[in-house]
Amino acid sequence: MRQKIQRLAAFALAFLAVVAAGAARAADDYPNHAVRWIVGYPPGGSTDICARLIGQYLSERLHQPFAVENKPGAGNNLATEMAAKAPPDGYTVFLVNPANVINATLYKHLPFDFIRDIAPVAGIIRMPNVMEVNPKVPAHTVAEFIAYAKANPGKINMASGGVGTSVHLSGVLFMMMTGVKLVHVPYHGAAPALTDMLAGQVQVMFDNLPSSIGYIQAGRLRALAVTTATRSSALPNVPTIAATVPGYEASAFFGMGVPRGTPPAIIAKLNRTINEGLADPALQAKLAKLGGTPIPGTPDDFGKLLVSETAKWAKVVKASGAAVE
């Protein structure tokens, strides 16, 4: 019996060695044809630009196209479902973004479980939102805005690009931590929200920095603070909200995920190449124009970020009362 067990153990070890060797060879040969890079947003926005910059770098280094496939719809859930159900062979990759961690709570019925069905590969960048007001608002600092809002409860309109977006929930988090009461006015995207911000129909917005920076630089909107824990190199003279509201932090982050079950050796190769890109000065400069800060690290580092962000925004979504069936 003992000899039989030893023979079985030896066979199992040999089998595992063969499997490991095969996986290593597959990673060495990867990729040997085009890779589909699913992005849940339309072409042209900062999210799409980020994906294309990383995709171009990966194409150059790995010698196969990483072709961006824009699949907007259903609050980013259409693209996520496509990625979750794709073959786990490394030839479908997915741009992970804030909607993924928000939608886990916002949507009551999803045909996938993001944390379970998408394997983390690598973080790419964090981008701040910017707390901005129409110039007619008599506040030039976060402290002055809080005082003004508390003196006018329920009279100040807060714009967003839609219910449950990072722009909306950044404002909800601000209300939770300061006690101010703003009236949320959701729009279908940033463009119409900014139109009414410029006209003074709404007074405050926690917008994605790339969408608003041109208006801020032209003096048509006033930036009070950025939402990240540190200042943004794109607006170096604008303080953080946390300087006035300790502990406040909200940001848009982007990274890569793949269908769960993708070989670890392929994930490691993608992670290594992305981290090399984030250390490349030329790519760093391009990402900096989006107002982003690189977030290099291991797949496990990115996975921990996704779990913590999902838990963080679950509390904010519940506090907002927002829900989608």
* pLDDT per position as a tens digit, 21-40: 454 556 899 999 999 999 99
pLDDT at 18: 46
Return the pLDDT at 210: 85
Rounded Cα distance between 315 and 160, Å, is 19
Q: Please give the pLDDT value at position 47.
A: 86
Q: Which domains does the chain show, CATH number per domain? A: 9-127+252-320 (3.40.190.150), 129-243 (3.40.190.10)
Region 102-128: mean pLDDT is 96
Task: Say whether pLDDT at 4 is over 80.
Answer: no
Q: What is the pLDDT of residue 21?
A: 47
pLDDT at 13: 55
Max Cα-Cα span within the chain: 86
Residue 143 contacts by C-beta under 8 Å, 6 or more apart in sequence? 244
**pLDDT score recorded for residue 17:** 47
Average pLDDT over residues 223-235: 94
pLDDT at 10: 58
Question: What pTM did the predictor assign?
Answer: 0.85
Q: What is the average pLDDT value for the chain, to the nearest integer?
A: 92
